[in-house]
Amino acid sequence: MRHIIDLSDLTEKEFSDLYKLTNNIIDRPEGYTDACRGKVLGSLFYEPSTRTNLSFSTAMMRLGGSVVGFSDPGSSSTAKGETLKDTINMVSSYADLIVMRNPREGAAKAASLYSSVPVINAGDGGHLHPTQTLTDMVTILRLRGSADNMKIGLCGDLKYGRTVHSLLHFLERYHNVEFYLIAPDALKLPSYMITFLKEHNMPYCEVGSIDAVLPELDVLYMTRIQRERFVSAQEYANLEGNYQLTAEKMRRAKKDMLVLHPLPRVDEIAQDVDDDPRAVYFRQARFGMFGRMALLLTLSKLPFVRAVHQEIGARGLRCSNHKCITKTELYLPPLSGMAGGRCPYCDAPLEKAE
Ligand code: NCD
C-alpha cells in the first residue's frame, strides 16, 4: 500500500488493519492528537468539495499535522499552464502526503507516477473515489457488523457517480451480496462496470424504480444526479427529481435497512427522511473523517521514495475516453493493452491510435 487510487489496492489484511485503526480512533480519539505531529498534507482540489476536502484537513489537524494546498485551481499555477506532473513533483517535495481531486479520469494514477510521497485519490472525474468507499465501508461494518449476506440497492446516477463505481469495486471481496442497480436509462452503470460485475460473478439486477425493490433491501445507497458531468443542461433537467426517497416510501423498507448517501444531497432524499433512525448519511460523513485519520496515519509512516518514471506499456494505442487524463497531459507514459484492453489510468477501453 503506497498510493490509494482505488480502495481495492489494499489487501484484505491492509484493509482490516485500517478498519481496526479507524475503530480505535473513533473510540479513543484523544490517543491520536499527536500521531502526525510535524507531518504536512498537500491538499490539491481541482474540483469543488465540502466533505472530502474539509474532512481530510480536519483529519490531519486532529492528528496534530498541518495542511497546505488549494481548493480552487484558479489560485494555483495550473492557471498559468503548469502540468500536473510539475505540480506533483513540487508538492511532493514539500509535503509528506498528497490528497488530490481532479475532474480528469485517471488523474490520480497519473499523479502517482511523479510523486515521491503517497498520493490519495479524492475523486478523479466519474471514475473512482476510494476514501468515500472507506467511509461507506466503515459505516456498513460498524452499523451492520458485516458486509456479507446483504442486498444493496444503488440508486440515482450510476453512470457518472464515482462513489458507486468505487464501492462496487470493493464489495467484490464480500460474500453473498446482491446488487440492485436503480437508475433511469440515461444514467445506467457504464458498460465497463457491468463487465466488472460479470467477471467477478457479482449478482446484479437493473431496475427502473426504488419502489420495485425497496422492501428487499438491507442497504440503500442513494446518490445525486451529477449535474456538472452532464453534457447538456436539457438532459439534466429531464432527469432531476426522479428516483426520490421519501418518509412515505420508507414505511415499506425493512426495520433495520440502512440509508447511505455520500452527500451532497439535492432532492433525491426528502428532508422528512432525515429523522428516521435508518437514515445514517450524516453519521456516515463523520465516520469518513475517522477513516481518513486512520489512512493518513498509516500512510504517513511510509518512507520517502524518489519517484521512478515508470513505463506503463507499449505505443500504438490510445484511450477511448475523452475525459481521460491522457487527453490533456500528453507526456504521460504510453498505453498498452496489458490490463485486458483497458486504460491503466481510467479503465476505459483502449483503441488503436490513428
Ligand atoms: C461525492 C463526490 O464528490 O463524488 N461527494 C463526496 O465526496 N462526499 C458525491 C457527489 O458529489 O455527488
For ligand 1, atom 8, which residue shows the shortest CA distance?
Answer: 262
pTM: 0.93
Pocket of ligand 1 contains residue 133 by CB under 6 Å: no
Ligand 1 atom at minimum distance from 226 CA: 12
The residues spanned by each domain of the chain are 7-125+287-300, 135-277, 311-354
Ligand 1 centroid to Cα of residue 294, in Å, is: 20
Q: Which residue has the cell 494546498?
A: 69
Look up residue 194 and give its amino acid.
I
Residue 231, judged by CB atoms within 10 A of its CB (0-12, 13-18, 19+), counts as: exposed
Q: What's the confidence (pLDDT) of residue 298?
A: 97
pLDDT at 1: 57
SS3 295: helix
Ligand 1 contact, 229 CB (< 6 A): no
- Calculate how far, in angstroms, residue 76's C-alpha sits from the geometric centre of ligand 1: 23
**pLDDT tens digit string along 290-339?**
999 999 999 999 877 776 655 555 567 888 899 999 999 988 887 765 54
Tell me what pLDDT residue 327 has.
93
Asked whether this chain's domains 7-125+287-300 and 135-277 adopt the same fold, the reply is yes
Residue-level pLDDT at 318: 87
**Which regions of the chain are under pLDDT 50?**
339
Give the model's pLDDT for residue 196: 93
User: How many Å apart are CA 307 and CA 313, to the nearest integer?
Assistant: 18
CATH 3.40.50.1370 fits 135-277, yes or no: yes
Query: What SS3 class is residue 100?
Result: strand
CB proximity list for 254: less than 8 A, separation 6 or greater? 215, 217, 218
DSSP code for 9: G
Mutate to test the pocket of ligand 1, among 129, 136, 228 (most ligand atoms within 8 A of CB): 129
Query: Residue 233 CB: number of other CB atoms within 10 A?
Result: 9
Report the pLDDT value the prediction gives residue 52, as an integer from 0 to 100.
93
Distance 229 CA to ligand 1 centre (A): 12
Cα–Cα distances (Å) from 104 to 108, 110, 132, 176, 321, in that order, read 9, 10, 18, 34, 10
Q: Tell me, what DSSP letter sits at residue 154?
A: E
Return the CATH class of domain 7-125+287-300. alpha beta
CA-nearest residue for atom 12, ligand 1, is 224
Angle between helices 130-144 and 51-62 (to 10 degrees): 70
Determine contact, residues 302/2, Cβ cutoff 8 Å: yes
Kindly report the protein residue whose alpha carbon is nearest to atom 1 of ligand 1. Answer: 262
SS3 278: coil
| Cβ neighbours of residue 265 closer than 8 Å, sequence gap 6 or more | 222, 224, 281
